Amino acid sequence: MIPGGVNSPVRAFRSVGGDPPFIVRGKGSHIWDADENEYIDYIGSWGPLILGHAEPNVLDAIVGAACNGTSFGASTPSEADLAEMVLGAFPNMQKLRFVSSGTEATMSAIRLARAYTKRKYIVKFEGCYHGHADALLVKAGSGVATLGIPGSAGVPEEFTMFTLALPFNNLPSVEYAFQKFKHQIACVIVEPVVGNMGCVPAADDYLVGLRLITQREHSVLIFDEVMTGFRVAFGGAQELYNIKPDLTTMGKIIGGGLPVGAYGGTKEIMDLVAPLGPMYQAGTLSGNPLAMAAGCAMLKQLRDRKEEIYPKIDKLSGELVNGVMTAARDAGVSLCANRVGSMFTWFFQKGPVTDWDSASKSNTESFGKFFRTMLDAGVYLPPSQYEAAFLGATHSEEDVQRTIAAAKQAFAGMKN
């Protein structure tokens, strides 16, 4: 009934083999499949569930909102509540617009950057994924990288002719592009910590370099914080690295896992969005009351408990990543790891992994074997070498120790 049996390609387990479990329930850091198998979950709906599955305050907020009606296609007070909360955490954003997914957020941010600069070209980076809008499916990460698809069928080359895909972590190539396409580049869009070719952090000064170049060239810098927002720090990667992008995009994380996204930035740019300005974007479910209520309930807790939550998930993630690395070393398995706070990836190669070129040298067969053994042992990792894993505030020391023990077992049966 559904192509590949899935509504998003990575879920089909094509790159790791085996049949994907169908998940029926989640609580805290654990999920259960339809056969009642229990797993420690390191996907967390691809990042947003920092407080774990079925968090009571988030559930109460959703139920409370649902009792008053699920959608009006009209403005509700909860939109202002969530906007206030997000803008409070991201002071570089003076205004924002809610949409229903990260794909809509990035697509709209790029349209806005083009409207603002009156330029056509955009710069993205190989292995970064910014949703499935036509112009962004060029050398993309996530499922596109996992399935080894060069781009996507159905996208006319005319739709991607203004997309320049450059190597990540390489400033000279950005300088070159700005020279070659002088006064023609509307924006640079980047995942400040890449999650979609596995976790790949920006090198020291890389983001500063992007900021300086875009400022000098009057081009818009867009941070795609769909994964990193409220994850690597309460104020996202821009707080962690102290960089001020012009526009920021966000996704499911600001809806506590419900379908939502947002793009925002300086007042000067955002006031070009209709009805104030000529850049059009709209949606019946934009600012949906259930998503707004869930987002408020989650972000409120992250804000009030940030001194406790962020150090905790950073420490536990460090323990986990290092524990698995030690197990690999003891077993003679070639493995390297990247981690920023609670997002991380183990790459099956000696590393270092700094861009798509190096990420793609990973031994995906070994990853698949590791993934399946871990799944059998009750550990649910992202089913792709090229997706980041996430740990949340409900993961326990016991979860981490069980995961390390499972990895030891998995490595005992493999060498690469």
Binding site for ligand HOZ (CB under 6 A): 8, 10-11, 46, 129, 142, 196, 387
CB atoms within 10 A of CB 57: 15
Amino acid symbol at 147: L
- Secondary structure of residue 108 in the 3-state scheme: helix
Q: Cβ 271 to ligand HOZ, closest distance in Å? A: 31
Q: Note if 252 is an active site residue.
A: yes
Q: Which is nearer to ligand HOZ, 11 or 244 (CB)?
A: 11
Q: Which is nearer to ligand HOZ, 252 or 395 (CB)?
A: 252
Q: Cβ 378 to ligand HOZ, closest distance in Å? A: 21
Q: Cβ 388 to ligand HOZ, closest distance in Å? A: 8
240: closest CA among 255, 252, 225? Answer: 225
Q: Which of 116, 139, 224, 241 is catalytic?
A: 224
How many residues belong to the chain?
416
Amino acid symbol at 30: H
Q: Which of 42, 116, 124, 252 is catalytic?
A: 252
Element (H, E) at 339: strand 336-340
207: closest CA among 248, 169, 166? Answer: 169
Amino acid symbol at 143: G
DSSP 189-218: EE-SEE-BTB-EEPPTTHHHHHHHHHHHTT
Q: For tokens 């259930």, name the residue.
A: 290
Q: Which is nearer to ligand HOZ, 296 or 389 (CB)?
A: 389
Q: Cβ 62 to ligand HOZ, closest distance in Å? A: 20
CB atoms within 10 A of CB 301: 18
Q: Which of 39, 121, 129, 380 is catalytic?
A: 129
Amino acid symbol at 403: T
Q: Note if 263 is an active site residue.
A: no
Read off the tokens for 77.
Answer: 């007070």
Q: Which is nearer to ligand HOZ, 47 or 287 (CB)?
A: 47
Q: Cβ 370 to ligand HOZ, closest distance in Å? A: 19
CA 96, chain centre distance (Å): 19
Cα 241 from Cα 233, distance rounded (Å): 10
Which residues are registered as beta bridge partners of 371?
none
380: closest CA among 144, 51, 44? Answer: 44
Q: Which is nearer to ligand HOZ, 165 or 186 (CB)?
A: 165
- Evaluate the omega torsion of the peptide bond into residue 150 and state whether it is cis, within 30 degrees of 0: no
Q: Cβ 143 to ligand HOZ, closest distance in Å? A: 6
Q: Which is nearer to ligand HOZ, 92 or 103 (CB)?
A: 103
Q: Cβ 8 to ligand HOZ, closest distance in Å? A: 3
Q: First CA to last CA across the chain, in angstroms?
A: 39
Q: Note if 42 is an active site residue.
A: no
Q: Which is nearer to ligand HOZ, 142 or 358 (CB)?
A: 142
Name the residue number minimizing CB distance to ligand HOZ: 8
Please give the positions annotated as active site. 129, 224, 252
